[in-house]
Amino acid sequence: MPDPKKTASEPDDGSMTLSEHLRELRKRIIVCAVFFVAGLLVCLAFAPKLITLLTDLGSGYNYTFVYLAPQELLMCYMTIALLGGAVTAAPAIAYEGYAFASPGLTLRERNFFRIALIFGSAFFVLGVLFAYKITVPFMLHFLIQFSSEVAVTDSISIQEYLNFLLTVFLIFGIIFELPVISVVLTRLGIIKPEWLIRARRVMIVAVFFIAAVITPPDVVSQIMVAVPMLLLYELSIRLSKLTRRFMKEDK
């Protein structure tokens, strides 16, 4: 006999009602907000050390830094904290999004997205490290050379300097996500390897355009940025092909 306590609007097949979905979504948004605030507070506490770490990178190339407004250094702390909170919360946000959708996924799909989350975080970190160890030092060295040819002393605004570094770090972190994104989109059936292959020539032009925008106006800097991007695009094509092959074998 049906349970008399159940109303006609309540499903009895184990699925969730709309109100239950909304409550679940609210809980996961709260968890994401908690991770963001926690990351923000931690990064704010370590902001002086993080800023010192980044300014030491420029000081090695004889840059000197100043702040031009009383609140500028405080704004730098807040910028570091906000960006750090967002980066810290990003894996938690991705996981909570996955967990919210996971009841509608098969076991194989859940395992796939778990692996994608892990590799997505790892590739982002690799992108930031690549920018910190290779790209940024080269840019700073190249740009400081202009001051040796004219009678101009460098006094760099600390806020502009940090904005420059954080922008480069964020761009490279996102660029290094390209292989993971291509695998996920291929798995979802949104893109195909053939499309990536046909778009190769367009992507080469787009990559060098992006490299020209985010680097100093010299060929060497552009090549140093463009080559890793092109290699990542080629890796994306290979991984997209491999993903589709596995999908065919599963069928």
Task: Answer whether residue 43 is part of any domain.
Answer: yes
Q: Are residues 183 and 99 in the same domain?
A: no
Over the stretch 208-227, which tens digit does the pLDDT of each residue have?
888 887 666 667 677 877 88
Total count of domains within the chain: 2
Which range has the top average pLDDT, 31-35, 150-154, 174-178, 212-216?
Answer: 31-35
Over the stretch 161-219, which tens digit does the pLDDT of each residue have?
998 888 888 888 888 888 888 888 888 788 888 888 888 888 888 888 888 876 666 67
Q: How confident is the model at residue 30 (pLDDT cuts 50, 70, 90)?
A: very high
Owning domain of residue 226:
177-251
Stated pTM of the model:
0.78
Task: Answer whether residue 88 is part of any domain.
Answer: yes
Q: Are residues 145 and 192 in the same domain?
A: no
Q: Are residues 44 and 149 in the same domain?
A: yes
Which range has the top average pLDDT, 4-8, 42-46, 226-230?
Answer: 42-46
Q: Are residues 133 and 195 in the same domain?
A: no
Task: Answer whether residue 15 is part of any domain.
Answer: no
CB 230, CB 182: distance < 8 Å: no
Residue 14: how many other CB atoms lie within 10 Å: 6
Task: Answer whether residue 1 is part of any domain.
Answer: no
Looking at residue 219, its pLDDT comes to 73
Q: Are residues 47 and 152 in the same domain?
A: yes
Task: Answer whether residue 197 is part of any domain.
Answer: yes
